[in-house]
Structure 1
Amino acid sequence: MTDTPPGTVADAQAGNWVDRHAPQWLKPYARLARWDRPIGIWLLWWPCIWGLALAAVAQPQAGFDWIAAILMLVGAALMRGAGCTFNDIVDRDIDDKVARTRSRPIPSGQVTARDALYFMVGQALVASAILFQFNRFTVWAGVASLVLVAIYPFMKRITWWPQAFLGLAFSYGALVGWSSQTGSLGWALVLLYAGTVLWVIGYDTLYALQDIEDDALIGVKSTARLFGEHVKLAVAVLYTGAYLLWMAAVLLVNGGIVFAVLALVAAGLMAWQVWTVDAAQPDNPRLRFYSNHYVGLALALALLAEWVW
């Protein structure tokens, strides 16, 4: 890996807006919250949009709630930032031993763990103010998700499936989006959520390929290490399961051909990721991981088109 310029982080894209434009005092905190890598915000937000859009397909007379979508985008940015900050506090000793992460603000000494904790609480409090704009069921569902957020950073130490716990947490937006419109759960939501969990496990397995050698040296577990030479097949199975569950969710709310056709774009992107991923090539897994933003966009547009139809 090439040397990282002082003050920056190795796993952020060079020349990002935080490095170029953020005030000097803000930069370490912006990097803690991953504002220099907005991909995580999108990946947390897209399931919210899917939940909102699936609810619109289920009850077309109510329409798509655009105000809720905007609120959830802000909430996703805040909760992703709070979650990443908490993850960095918990993982500061591990991050110091991994080439890709040792330049992060806490292990590099730019921010103390105590100040990071204050920053995390501040983000969570603002996010809670947004959550309280929704119905009581959605509020309690959002509060319950904090359990998953809290335990995820520890899972890489005790199980080969930390990606599954990330999937449970990062897919929670589907539940929030759906319940904000319906005030309840439903089988269509269960299928959407399960498919999204499989999708997250798949894309985070590809992302974990970047750290597979360092993880093996320090004893950190991941599905990338677990699947080993069968990682392509395993991710293909996960992505196929995700697509089938998404299809089943839409069929359950009387959706059909419009979604089925347009969702093939998302399926094609996932197939491309699996076909072309190569951990031996620098940046290859990261770029495949990043392309899931477009998977999320394609599926959202497919659901919205189904609602319009």
Structure 2
Amino acid sequence: MKKFIKILQDIGELIVFKHSVFALPFIFTAMVVASKQTNDSVWFGFGLLVLGILCAVSARNFAMAYNRYKDEDIDKLNPRTANRPSVDGRVGRRNLELFIIANAAVFIITAYFINSLAFWLSFPILGILAGYSLFKRFSELAHLVLGLCLGLAPIAGAVAVSGEIPLWSVLLCLGVVFWVAGFDLLYSLQDIEFDQKMGLFSIPSVYGEKATMFISAIFHVVATLLWLLFAWAAQLGFLAFFGIVVSGVILFMEHRIVRRDFSKIDRAFFTLNGYLGILFFVFVLLSAL
């Protein structure tokens, strides 16, 4: 039993479970808005709450575990990632394979119990989540693919509640795509020399540091504009627009921190973006109420 618990702890470290905070606020944002428009209430029911959490967590577990599984050959050569459980032997490939399969199964089965559209979309969604690990080996546009992996969360939330994909959920999705791609560019600056040495594709390794900072800033401006369009398309009130402006300010602060001191990339990446997602959800919820 202790061995099993230790394996779960190591897997938890491997997939950085606490960073689920990035995706969960946006799937709940979409569920709240869809429920308000469909049922005239922000509460979509305890059953959908549980199913939504299961889908979000299992999808992220699958994506992170598959990424670590496919990147073992790269991670063991990178000093920043050489101590990951998938590299140092704490989590064997067999256990990782079982974890990947189990989470894919949980995601598909959970989607089945939500509705038919969610079920049929679960298969291409898993394909996109797995595709990121392969895509980044041949194209620097992998940052946008990663953004799409998280951007699918609000579409999934809308589908879960309303059984359809409304325009506002697509706008919210695209905003998340550029938000994630933008902060992933900043995070990738840590590996610029390693990526260049190994011939890996990333915008920092191909275009350099200054261009990366500029592109990241453009991505975050686009994300903020798309979020404003989302609030307009969803017919949300002042508080939602105000929350999006606050999100834009947080992104501006993120860029200031990174420009001043690259050693604080982790702070900008994890702390500020974690707060952004939560505040975004809270302001949309208050607006819907």
1:88, 1:218 → 2: CA distance? 17
2:231 aligned residue (250, 255, 259)? 250
TM-score (normalizing by structure 2): 0.90
CA shift, 1:24, in A, is: 3.2
Query: Contact between 1:47 and 1:172, CA under 8 Å: does it hold in 2?
Result: no
| Structure holding more helix per residue | 2
CA shift, 1:173, in A, is: 0.8
User: CA 1:279 to 1:152, structure 2 compared with 1: closer, same or farther past 3 Å?
Assistant: farther
Partner of 1:32: 14
2:83 aligned residue (100, 103, 120)? 103
Residue 43 of structure 2 corresponds to residue 61 of structure 1: no
Q: Which runs of 5+ in 1 are unaligned?
A: 1-21
Partner of 1:133: 113
Q: Which runs of 5+ in 2 are unaligned?
A: none
SS where residue 106 of structure 1 aligns? Answer: helix
Please, which moves more after superposition, 256-265 or 92-101?
Answer: 256-265
Whichever residue aligns with residue 175 of structure 1, its letter is I
What is the percentage of aligned positions where both structures have the same residue? Answer: 23
Partner of 1:7: none
- Aligned pair count reads 283
Partner of 1:6: none
1:170 aligned residue (144, 147, 150)? 150
Whichever residue aligns with residue 257 of structure 1, its letter is F
1:74, 1:197 → 2: CA distance? 22
Residue 61 of structure 2 corresponds to residue 86 of structure 1: no
Residue 250 of structure 2 corresponds to residue 269 of structure 1: yes
Whichever residue aligns with residue 187 of structure 2, its letter is Y
CA shift, 1:66, in A, is: 5.1
CA shift, 1:177, in A, is: 0.5
Partner of 2:274: 293
Whichever residue aligns with residue 189 of structure 1, its letter is S
Structure 1 segments, 4+ long, off by >4 Å, are none
Q: Please list the CA deviations of residues 212-251 of structure 1 after superposition, one character each: whole Å capped at 9, or x if unmatched.
A: 2211111111133345212232222111111111111221
Residue 30 of structure 2 corresponds to residue 48 of structure 1: no
2:188, 2:53 → 1: CA distance? 26
Query: Contact between 1:97 and 1:218, CA under 8 Å: does it hold in 2?
Result: no
TM-score (normalizing by structure 1): 0.85
Query: Contact between 1:33 and 1:84, CA under 8 Å: does it hold in 2?
Result: yes
The RMSD of aligned alpha carbons is 2.0
